[in-house]
């Protein structure tokens, strides 16, 4: 999962969960989980907490892509980039600083240290909940049975949570050296002089931002007409403007025709006839479900393009099988996996559960500037409601944003004379504001209700309050 959230674990518990591996039980477990990433381990922890017996099977390390090869290490990389930028730009804040260089060994040690501490904490949680953890590559062999390491584990229910892999482009071969995916990019032991990034979504923009901070000459190639194309168009345009200021190059609305090695790097040719050359190419065109050859179809599970299809309660067409996370066609975000895993565990424990409203899930791109949103885009809102009202509050009117020297905006979308149905933000650190935006959307708040809340000064959170004041017809630090 790309986008982005650390697992809620305690650090400092160093016991290895390998010590807790036991042999196959003689009686069925309440729940057998295939895959120990965000969705799988969240389900395991919650189910065990509710008194269910759990077998958790993971072929690599518990924590999955997010913890080891995605959310956590990429954000550590971005923070190193932020420190580099601050060193370069100290003088504009009256502090004489300079950047001596980027030590990739040091960056990787910092990044890996963060991952290691969280991993140890997660291992401790798994052990403390008495979860039967099995390390090995599992396969579904019946609607209630998973085979791993030559043994079978039977459960009253099976949860599929095998996650996703980095997609490539047909005809573009990853060699792990000059043409790489996002997981290989996290292991680079050097700062390349130049890079071409194929894909201008969340993953592509985050790597472009981090690498530019490290001094890399970056060009993004995106086949659609905007960067982060799933966001509101206004947010995409603000990010594009910011990237131009940072001298991050991008080519929009054009597709790749070929990628070939040159004497000094790689050449990317586009269908419009343009060519680009760089030392390396990062393929960041999204992620696909890991489901092939795992026995899902043989067990009768309905599939579509490799995804496992589920109902609103994450249950497949086979009553004893559920699926969560990147394996199903919902938002590929770690926190969505957490939510889906918890939902399944509570459903199996007999608790009342409410389906997830995926529009109400917060989304963040951790570039500089950040892009954060919840709810509907303006296009989606007009399609659903017809007439809507919008308001854009420029961060130029926000004192804290001026102190940080960031630019951007908060855009609100409301149903005509109704609640706020979309909040879209661009600017440094706005990802920290999206939790309040999530409450506004999910509680169907009216602009007047949010305007009545007093936000602390000076904070960037005031921008949310000021935007709602303006939308309620009583602007303060904004033109009416």
201 assigned to a ligand binding site: yes
CATH of the domain at 149: 3.50.50.60
Would you write out the chain's pLDDT as a tens digit for each of its 480 residues?
Answer: 444 433 333 333 333 444 344 445 557 999 999 999 999 999 999 999 999 999 999 999 999 999 999 999 999 999 999 999 999 999 999 999 999 999 999 999 999 999 999 999 999 999 999 999 999 999 999 999 999 999 999 999 999 999 999 999 998 999 999 999 999 999 999 999 999 999 999 999 999 999 999 999 999 999 999 999 999 999 999 999 999 999 999 999 999 999 999 999 999 999 999 999 999 999 999 999 999 999 999 999 999 999 999 999 999 999 999 999 999 999 999 999 999 999 999 999 999 999 999 999 999 999 999 999 999 999 999 999 999 999 999 999 999 999 999 999 999 999 999 999 999 999 999 999 999 999 999 999 999 999 999 999 999 999 999 999 999 999 998 876
Residue of 133, 128, 129 lying closest to 149 (CA atoms): 133
205 assigned to a ligand binding site: yes
Three-class SS of residue 379?
helix
320 assigned to a ligand binding site: no
Both 157 and 296 in one domain: the answer is yes
Q: Mention every residue, 6+ apart, whose C-beta is less than 8 A from residue 338.
A: 5, 7, 8, 38, 39, 42
Catalytically active residues are: 457
Both 394 and 423 in one domain: the answer is yes
Q: Which two tokens stand for residue 95?
A: 């502090």
CA angle, 49 then 50 then 53, to 5°: 85
51 assigned to a ligand binding site: no
Q: How far apart are CA 345 and CA 47, in angstroms?
A: 5
Chosen domain end from 286, 310, 333 = 286
CATH of the domain at 421: 3.30.390.30
Element (H, E) at 425: strand 420-427
Both 145 and 269 in one domain: the answer is no
Residue of 295, 308, 296 lying closest to 340 (CA atoms): 308
Domain span at residue 266 reads 167-286
204 assigned to a ligand binding site: yes
Residue of 304, 324, 305, 326 lying closest to 315 (CA atoms): 324
pLDDT at 144: 97
Q: How far apart are CA 420 and CA 444, in angstroms?
A: 6
Chosen domain end from 244, 268, 286 = 286
314 assigned to a ligand binding site: no
223 assigned to a ligand binding site: no
Q: Which two tokens stand for residue 176?
A: 């792990």
Q: How far apart are CA 175 and CA 475, in angstroms?
A: 55
Both 149 and 270 in one domain: the answer is no
HEC-encoded secondary structure of 279-328: CEEEECCCEEECCCCCCCCCCCCCEECCEECCCCCCECCCCCEEECHHHC
Helix axes 461-471, 434-442, angle to 10 degrees: 40
User: What residue has token string 């190059």?
Assistant: 249
Whether 202 is in a domain gets the answer: yes
Instruction: Give yes or no for a cis peptide into 157 (omega within 30° of 0).
Output: no
202 assigned to a ligand binding site: yes
89 assigned to a ligand binding site: no
pTM summary value? 0.93
Both 451 and 304 in one domain: the answer is no
Both 277 and 380 in one domain: the answer is no
Residue of 243, 248, 250, 182 lying closest to 222 (CA atoms): 250
Both 345 and 375 in one domain: the answer is no
pLDDT at 12: 34
Phi and psi at 322, nearest 5°, equal -120, 170
Signed CA dihedral, 55, 58, 62, 63: sign only? negative
The structural domain count of the chain equals 3
Both 446 and 383 in one domain: the answer is yes
Whether 182 is in a domain gets the answer: yes
**DSSP state letter for 93:** G
In 396-460, where does DSSP find H-type helix?
399-404, 434-442, 447-451
162 assigned to a ligand binding site: yes
Phi and psi at 269, nearest 5°, equal -105, 135
Both 126 and 227 in one domain: the answer is no
């Amino acid at each position: 999962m790309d986008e982005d959230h650390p697992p809620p674990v305690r650090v400092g518990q160093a016991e290895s969960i390998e010590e807790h591996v036991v042999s196959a039980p003689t009686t069925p477990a309440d729940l057998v989980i295939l895959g120990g990433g965000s969705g799988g381990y969240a389900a395991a922890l919650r189910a065990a907490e509710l008194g269910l017996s759990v077998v958790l099977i993971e072929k690599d390390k518990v924590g999955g892509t997010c913890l080891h090869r995605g959310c956590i290490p990429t954000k550590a990389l971005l923070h190193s980039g932020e420190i580099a930028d601050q060193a370069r730009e100290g003088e504009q804040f009256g502090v004489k600083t300079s950047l001596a260089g980027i030590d990739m060994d040091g960056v990787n040690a910092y990044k890996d240290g963060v991952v290691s501490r969280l991993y140890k904490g997660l291992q401790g949680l798994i052990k403390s909940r008495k979860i039967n953890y099995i390390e090995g590559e599992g396969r579904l062999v019946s609607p209630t049975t998973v085979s791993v390491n030559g043994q079978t584990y039977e459960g009253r229910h099976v949860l599929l949570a095998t996650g996703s892999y980095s997609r490539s482009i047909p005809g573009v071969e990853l060699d792990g050296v000059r043409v790489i995916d996002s997981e290989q990019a996290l292991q680079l032991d050097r700062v390349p002089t130049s890079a071409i990034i194929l894909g201008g979504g969340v993953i592509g923009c985050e790597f472009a931002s981090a690498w530019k901070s490290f001094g890399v000459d970056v060009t993004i190639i995106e086949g659609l007409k905007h960067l982060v194309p799933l966001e509101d168009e206004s947010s995409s345009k603000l990010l594009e403007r910011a990237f131009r200021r940072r001298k991050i190059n991008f080519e929009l609305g054009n597709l790749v025709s070929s990628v070939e090695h040159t004497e000094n790097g790689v050449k990317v040719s586009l269908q419009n006839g343009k060519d680009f050359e760089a030392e390396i190419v990062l393929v960041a065109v999204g992620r696909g479900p890991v489901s092939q050859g795992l026995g899902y179809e043989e067990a009768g599970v309905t599939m579509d393009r490799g995804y496992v299809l589920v109902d609103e309660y994450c249950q497949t067409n086979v009553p004893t099988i559920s699926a969560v996370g990147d394996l199903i066609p919902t938002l590929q975000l770690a926190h969505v996996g957490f939510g889906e895993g918890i939902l399944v565990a509570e459903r199996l424990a007999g608790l009342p559960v409410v389906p997830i409203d995926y529009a109400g899930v917060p989304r963040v791109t951790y570039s500089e500037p950040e892009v954060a949103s919840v709810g509907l885009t303006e296009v989606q809102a007009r399609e659903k409601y017809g007439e809507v009202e919008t308001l854009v509050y420029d961060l130029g009117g926000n004192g804290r944003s001026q102190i940080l020297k960031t630019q951007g905006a908060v855009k609100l979308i409301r149903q005509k004379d109704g609640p706020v149905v979309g909040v879209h933000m661009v600017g440094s650190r706005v990802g920290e504001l999206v939790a309040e935006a999530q409450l506004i959307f999910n509680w169907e708040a009216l602009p007047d209700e949010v305007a009545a809340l007093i936000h602390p000064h000076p904070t960037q959170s005031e921008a949310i309050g000021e935007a709602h004041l303006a939308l309620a017809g009583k602007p303060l630090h904004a033109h009416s």
